Amino acid sequence: MSTPTPQGKPRIGITLGDLNGIGPEVVIKALADNRILNAITPVIYGNARVLSYYRKLMNLEEFNYSQVRTRGQFFPKAVNVVNCWEEEIKITPGQPSRETGRAALMGLRQVVEEVKEGLLDGFVTAPIDKNSVYGDDFPYHGHTEYLTETFQATESLMLMVGEKLKVGLVTEHLALNDVSRHITAERVELKIRLFELSLKSDFLITKPKIAVLGLNPHAGDEGLIGNEENTVIKPVINDLKSKGKLIFGPFPADGFFGSGQHDKYDGILAMYHDQGLIPFKYIDFATGVNFTAGLPTVRTSPDHGTAYNIAGKNMADEGSVRRALFLAADIIKRRMAPLDPQ
């Protein structure tokens, strides 16, 4: 199959995530929007019986899809479905199970295979339940760690993208008592460089300004409340500044967001998960998308979890999945666009 041009429709794979969570519901609702079919060729990696179950549950009988019979041959004007398993899986919305966890992994692994084969231009992942998938067969705490290793990337950057903020993380799914030892000069510098490169190539920001947050309260208070700012973070920032990079900080996280300084920067690098995600979800939750920068392919996901408490109740908002699809399409087209000779 031919590679789409920047003016064409990207082929985007979509996993259903945990079948007992809201993943199938929000995927179906998002793809029922005709604007999606005008922008991309969507390919669901799951099972047609699952879609049929949720379509009936939500009274969305007008939602149609075509099952893929030949690997890589997708219908450009339809919602495509790749059946990743044949056996019947019991669906009990709101109830996590190892069975639905295994199904989520089957969909994820097949979409990754087909991305590697060049059959897809990028993909969007619906939420998985980490407890249902974690084990010897999947020793990861989330999609990001798995995809970084699977695509043999040196490193990746978990980047939350909204209308107002772009927040990257130095560390991701780590317990707080493990964070400090992972804040090294090499890691901080690598994350800053990945952030800057993504802002340039994926978001077309020519000279991105990046704010770096401190690790400790008051950014260490000049060494009174921790030394990581003085011994690790500041030297990296100063070195990159000397090379012409627009990197600033380290800033105390509370005052940085409280005073509205976040509006002055193209990107904000947080040291750990909640330091970045709490303000992001407070300020930009309604428009948030999770993007994995640093991979050789484009992967986005909604910025929410399985939401078992509302699964199967036709209450889930599909907005984040829709934005994840559009963001993936935009980044794919930007990466495919010819370079400006100047």
* DSSP for 83-119, written as a single string: E---S-----TT---HHHHHHHHHHHHHHHHHHHTTS
Give 3-state DSSP helix, strand, coil % of the chain, rounded to 5. 40, 15, 40
Degrees (nearest 5) of the Cα angle 320, 212, 255?
85
Read off the tokens for 209: 């300004």
What's 38-71 look like in SS3? HHCEEEEEECHHHHHHHHHHCCCCCCCCEECCCC
**CATH 3.40.718.10 region(s) of the chain?**
1-153+295-342, 155-293
In the CATH hierarchy, which fold is given to the domain comprising 155-293? Isopropylmalate Dehydrogenase (3.40.718)
* pLDDT at residue 22 in the model: 97
Across 15-21, average pLDDT: 97
- Residue 341's pLDDT band (boundaries 50, 70, 90)? very low
Beta bridge partners of 293: 157
Residue 218 clears pLDDT 90, i.e. is over it: yes
Share above pLDDT 70 across residues of the chain, in percent, rounded to a whole number: 96
pTM for the whole structure: 0.92
| CB 16, CB 45: distance < 8 Å | yes
Lowest mean per-residue pLDDT among 174-178, 226-230, 337-341: 337-341
87 Cα distance to chain centroid: 29
pLDDT tens digits, one per residue of 238-269 = 999 999 999 999 999 999 999 999 999 999 99
In the CATH hierarchy, which fold is given to the domain comprising 1-153+295-342? Isopropylmalate Dehydrogenase (3.40.718)
Interhelix angle 234-242/185-201, rounded to 10 degrees, is 50
Separation in Å, CA 174 to CA 119, 134, 170, 181? 34, 15, 11, 11
Residue 79 clears pLDDT 90, i.e. is over it: yes
Burial class (CB in 10 A: 0-12, 13-18, 19+), 94: middle
* pLDDT at residue 136 in the model: 84
Residue 35: DSSP 8-state: H
39 Cα distance to chain centroid: 19
Identity of the amino acid at 324:
A
Distance CA 213, CA 6 (A): 36
Separation in Å, CA 150 to CA 30, 147, 231? 28, 5, 33
| CB 147, CB 295: distance < 8 Å | yes
